[in-house]
């Protein structure tokens, strides 16, 4: 068990809900992943996905806690307005805050993100801000009231994994009091395991599952990868070394001599 904001969870995998082949496969993938928190965007869910309300019915049936997000917002005003709509619609004070600064890279605008986080935190929201791996931005977000920070591993949907591993390690080392969740850029289960191995509390991903050839099977793979990564962190994974070290240490001389043969 671990604590995310005000909830006790078993799974350290948070799952997105966009771009699945069908609502049925989405529901099966959520179940296979073991995820207890799922994200939903108010601005990017297509009319095609929601045409008969099955999408929302399957989300409710999953019994996972919904983390609405402000994906698609490009200004503080847009993000704050969307967050208030989400709170009314989903009856939750949780909000995944995204304020995009570049349409091509989908990189978050750090200045707008911090300002929107300040406004929302003061208004009683539990803010989950999507940001880069920049330490100073993370510190600013903590200073305005964020207990959770969600740095990207790589640009959204790129599948590059943990592109700046040392910067992510620095975040973990310098911000031990924050809940840190890698959000975006994870493409393989091994990427998720690596994030947990270096001490991140959880990962959030979407495309790596929804666009897989077999989404339900991939969801299960991520479930096991996240669990393995956390176990490795708690067990104390060995550190890399530039020198070889024998796994079977020698003591003294061998007990046999040449004249024995």
Spatial CB neighbours of 192, under 8 Å, sequence gap ≥ 6:
13, 182, 186, 203, 205, 222, 225, 226, 229
Supply 78's token pair: 């847009």
Residues 77, 96, 169, 223: which is the catalytic one? Answer: 96
The span from the CA of 24 to the CA of 13, in Å, is 20
Q: Measure Cα distances from 156 to 21, 183, 196 in Å.
A: 19, 8, 19
SS (H, E, C) 164-189: CHHHHHHHHHHCCCCEEEEECCCCCH
The span from the CA of 23 to the CA of 45, in Å, is 12
The span from the CA of 37 to the CA of 17, in Å, is 11
Closest CA to 176 of 150, 193, 199, 195: 199
96: annotated active-site residue:
yes
Q: Which residues are catalytic?
A: 96
């Amino acid at each position: 068990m671990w604590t995310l904001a005000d909830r006790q969870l078993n799974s350290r995998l948070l799952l997105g809900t966009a771009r699945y082949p069908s609502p049925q496969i989405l529901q099966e993938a959520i179940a296979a992943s073991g995820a207890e928190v799922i994200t939903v965007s108010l601005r990017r869910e297509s009319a095609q996905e929601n045409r008969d309300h099955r999408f929302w019915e399957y989300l409710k049936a999953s019994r996972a806690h919904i983390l609405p997000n402000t994906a698609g917002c490009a200004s503080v005003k847009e993000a704050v307005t969307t967050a208030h709509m989400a709170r009314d619609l989903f009856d939750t004070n949780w909000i995944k805050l995204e304020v995009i600064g570049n349409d091509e890279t989908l990189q978050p605008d750090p200045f707008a993100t911090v300002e929107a986080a300040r406004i929302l935190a003061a208004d009683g929201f539990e803010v989950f801000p999507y940001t880069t791996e920049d330490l100073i931005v993370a510190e600013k977000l903590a200073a305005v009231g964020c207990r959770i920070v969600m740095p990207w591993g790589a640009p959204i949907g790129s599948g590059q994994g943990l592109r700046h591993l040392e910067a992510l390690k620095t975040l973990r080392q310098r911000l031990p009091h924050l809940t840190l969740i890698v959000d975006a850029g994870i493409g393989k289960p091994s990427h998720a395991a690596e994030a947990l191995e270096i001490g991140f509390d959880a990962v959030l991903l979407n495309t790596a599952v929804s666009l897989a050839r077999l989404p339900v099977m991939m969801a299960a793979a991520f479930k096991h990868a996240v669990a393995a990564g956390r176990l490795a962190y708690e067990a104390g994974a060995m550190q890399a070394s530039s020198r070889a070290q024998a796994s079977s240490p020698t003591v003294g001389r061998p007990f046999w001599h040449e004249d024995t043969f």
